[in-house]
Amino acid sequence: MTYKTGIDQLPIPPKDAKVQNVTCDFCIVGCGYKAISWPIDRQGGADAGDNVFGEDLNQQQGAESPAWYNPSMYNVVQQDSRLVHLIIKPDKACEVNAGLNSVRGGRMGVTRYSEQTGTMTARLTQPMVWRYSQMMPTSWDDSLSLVADVTRRVIEEMGEDGVIVSAFDHGGAAGGYENTWGTGKLYFDAMKVKNIRIHNRPAYNSEVHASRDMGVGELNNSYEDAELADTIFVVGANPLENQTNYFLAHWVPNLRGETLDKKRQMLASEAHAPARIIIVDPRRTVSVNACEAVAGKENVLHLAIAPGTDLVLLNALLTEVVSKGWQANDFIAQHTVGFDEAVAANRISVEDAAAVTGLASADIRKAAQWIAEPKAGGTQRRTMHAYEKGLIWGNDNYRTNAAMVNLALATWNVGREGTGCVRLGGHQEGYVRPSDAHVGRPAAYVDQLLISGQGGVHHVWATDHFKSTLNAEEFRRIYRRRTNLVKEAMDSVPYGDRQAQLEQIVAAIKRGGLFSVVVDILPTQIGEAAHVWLPAATAGEMNLTSMNGERRLRLTERYMDPPGVAMPDALIAARMANAIEASFRKAGNGAYADQFKGKFDWKTEEDAFMDGYHEHAEGGKFVTYDRLRSMGTNGVHEPVVGFENGRLIGTKRLYTDGKFKTADGRAKFMKAEWRGLQVAGREQQREKYAFLINNGRNNLVWQNAFYDQHTPFVRERMPVAPIEMNPGDMTTLGLQAGDLVEVYNDVGSTQAMVYPTPAAKPGQAFMLFIAPTGQVGNVISKATNELMIPDYKNVWANIRRIGHVPSADGMSFKNIEYPQTL
């Protein structure tokens, strides 16, 4: 372990070290971890009685020993103002990850704020405001009263439509029930803001409207179902890299046949075999490769579909299943409506579908068989249907989502063990807010409001549109211009004269300016344009509750202090609300001030949890911090339905009674006819440009790299956003590994570093999506579907060499595929 870090010894945690529950900060999977901490001036010992593991560490530990941690899991931090050693290591007893960490979660230790070890010292430690023509530190009262006064003046001039908000709606760090409630109560209860967007799309809407309209909530199964399935059918997702430990701890054992005993026990009357898997993705991902390695090629069907044509495949599968009579007739008759109409409207032959999707007819038939052919003995096959951003941010989101759910309903693959029709998920979830009904449908396209000069003040919570939105180049350009107008206006009068400042700010807004407030834990790119930065505390610096992709609710306990005066987002929202109330009251508008009165008296994040989740979530009345803490890293599946013998009682999977979320309880089939590449201009773009710029995540990097860009481990591997390219295409363009290229089309341009990828198809590149050093959003046009959902994935552009990344010569460009035997 001395390699590059120089660390060959780590302290042994003493027997009486503090052990707390942690759910990973990052992805949907929500792996269980333990935070182990103890005073800086002490150490445990190697004898079993002297360390927290209770193990004799004088002996060599086994390969899977939990009595172990690595330098990435360790740091020195402050806890209740005192220095402590801190280890954040995966919990072997957690059913989600069974002791596994990923290359992201395993680095929570080194991504904590530490003055002592120098990690993440870029964190925001105090509020900053635009003053003396630069960002200057100030107090909470001063910064929030400025935000409140400007927000008030904007509301006085423009009404609440002048307040534009960008806010997370997820769980895990940068979200969670406390913080979605805090922001939700501010904008949807005290105010009725309708010009609001979510962190990952330009409006306030659902990623999976269709599934919900059909009565099928999108997280309806349990991770155990991936262990019980006969077939796993995945569309547009790359679970090894993006839902890592769900894939490794639950899919792989089934693909290897290791869950056969469990299947035989739980589903005794049926025939069982190791699972097969179908992966629909234009790209050969490492998930495909890993599945082949563990299940054998004969049990893996990779459908390398023409980008954006999933709808056609899904409709053809439905057509084929029905033509074979493999649908679940009783279930359809008793629990659904609209089957015949949907089958008729969506009908497409396998041959016609093969022509559009570029797939072989035989493979489409094989997929239908693997999904729905009855098992030996005639029982209905159990097929888990899963999808994520290749479908959600793919072509024609609403209809394609509907076509996926149609197939799952027709084959009764919802509400039974070993099934599910589910999002694989992105972040953890943690949504509890007052009604958003006033936002309307379709919701306002917030980016376009900002670009067209509307709105006066923009509150930005834990997102960086400069990197992650569509049409990003134009967004950035206009956002800078508008916020600069306000900066110049602020510079023109004495900073200490609040009244003069306000007048200048309002005058600048009337000339097209925009006042921007960013709540984040680190400096961001959109923050460079902002006038106020408010420093947030993140998970572990506050208590935080969230649920994972199987609706498993847990509490991450506070194990360290936030940096400086940073505060949980929920409490920032509360203080902002109180400041806005005070501003209106002072200005003589008591009626408006009263909308905030008495609603934001929370002293702690637990107060926000009790006011929000406990009072408003389904089953919330059973849940308290103490009860959740005692449920440990395994938590409880939502919705919680009771509390008995000291334990919360949950719901392992949804719709087992065949009752769906519609007025009459019947799930709805939906018509979903094919209409080509639906977003305006994309067909033409495909014809005009040489490369598909497919884009998304990779294993190493979490989101916009907010931590990773400050971490040598990642930075030295990816100094610039990598773009995976076919070696033949590289030769044609005269490119070497590590070359810097420009990716450009009629919308904009961006930069990336060439990563040779033998599995990449000619003409199909894959770029890391929202890196600080190259954003795909620059080349994505502003057009969306009818409900304001972007197609981030199906984008075409040209590529040209502009140089070489200086540090690339010392880098590895090894093929990321696994060897074929695992």
| Interface with ligand SF4, residue 24, by CB under 6 A | yes
- Token representation of residue 338: 């609209």
Alpha carbon distance 651, 220 (integer Å): 10
> Cα(186)–Cα(197) distance, rounded to whole angstroms?
15
241 binds, among ligand MGD, ligand SF4, Mo ion, none (CB under 5 to 8 A by kind): ligand MGD
Q: Are 117 and 84 in contact (CB under 8 A)?
A: no
**How far does CA 454 lie from the centroid of its chain?**
29
Of residues 186 and 485, the one with the C-beta less far from ligand MGD:
186
Residue 245 CB, shortest distance to ligand SF4, in Å, is: 4
> What does DSSP say about strands 739-744 and 796-804: parallel, antiparallel, or unpaired?
antiparallel
Tell me the β-bridge partners of 170: 429
Burial class (CB in 10 A: 0-12, 13-18, 19+), 15: middle
Residue 560: name the closest of 31, 118, 15, 36 by CA.
Answer: 36
Our CB check for ligand MGD shows the closer of 520 and 611 to be 520
Residue 144 within binding range of ligand SF4, rule CB under 6 A: no
Among the listed residues 489, 497, 573, the one whose alpha carbon sits nearest the alpha carbon of residue 531: 489
Specify the residue, 394 or 426, whose C-beta has the smaller distance to Mo ion. Answer: 426
Which of the choices Mo ion, ligand MGD, ligand SF4, none does residue 696 contact, using the CB cut-off of 5 to 8 A by kind? ligand MGD
Closest separation in Å from C-beta 658 to ligand MGD: 29
**Which residues are near ligand MGD by CB under 6 A?**
27, 104, 173-174, 199-200, 235-238, 241-242, 280-283, 285, 305, 307-308, 310, 388-391, 393-394, 426-427, 461-464, 467-468, 519-522, 524, 536, 538, 569, 694-697, 699, 701-704, 706, 769-770, 776-777, 780, 792-794
Cα(238)–Cα(233) distance, integer angstroms: 12
* Interface map 42-81 toward ligand SF4 (x if CB under 6 A): ----------------------------------------
**Per CB under 6 A, 777 contacts ligand SF4:** no
Contact of residue 778 among ligand MGD, Mo ion, ligand SF4, none (CB under 5-8 Å per partner type): none
Tell me: does residue 413 bind ligand SF4 (CB under 6 A): no
Alpha helices in 563-719 (DSSP H): 569-586, 590-594, 605-609, 615-616, 625-630, 682-688, 712-715
Question: Closest by alpha carbon to 604, among 644, 575, 637?
Answer: 575
Question: Which residue is associated with the tokens 């405001």?
Answer: 129
Stretch that binds ligand SF4, among 21-29, 533-541, 598-606, 793-801 (CB under 6 A): 21-29
Which residue ranges make up the site for Mo ion (CB under 5 A)?
200, 426
Cα 455 from chain centre: 27
**83-102: contacts with ligand SF4 (CB under 6 A):** 97, 101-102
Instruction: Candidates 34, 89, 104, 152: give the one binding ligand SF4 (CB under 6 A).
Output: 104
Q: Which does 611 bind (CB under 5 to 8 A by kind): ligand SF4, ligand MGD, Mo ion, none?
A: none
179 or 380: CB nearest ligand MGD = 179
What is the layout of strands, in order, in the sheet containing 82-90?
18-23, 32-39, 82-90, 74-79
Q: Please say whether the beta carbons of 785 and 402 come within 8 A.
A: no
Asked if residue 700 binds ligand SF4 (CB under 6 A), the reply is no
Distance separating the N- and C-terminal Cα atoms of the chain: 24
Binding span for ligand SF4 by CB under 6 A among 29-37, 321-329, 371-379, 571-579: 29-37
CA distance 574 to 95: 35
Q: Which of 30, 184, 425, 620 binds ligand SF4 (CB under 6 A)?
A: 30
Q: Any residues with CB less than 8 A from the CB of 188 and at least 6 apart, and which?
A: 433, 434, 435, 436, 438
Does residue 29 interact with ligand SF4 by CB under 6 A? yes
Q: Which does 677 bind (CB under 5 to 8 A by kind): Mo ion, ligand SF4, ligand MGD, none?
A: none
Smallest gap from Cβ 368 to ligand MGD, in A, equals 17
Residue reference for tokens 């957690």: 94
C-beta separation of 237 from 415 below 8 A: no
Q: Which does 31 bind (CB under 5 to 8 A by kind): Mo ion, ligand SF4, ligand MGD, none?
A: ligand SF4
Whichever of 57 and 108 has its CB closer to ligand SF4, that residue is: 108
Identified binder of ligand SF4 from the candidate list 119, 244, 471, 501, rule CB under 6 A: 244
Q: Which residues bind ligand SF4 (CB under 6 A)?
A: 24, 26-27, 29-31, 97, 101-102, 104-105, 244-245
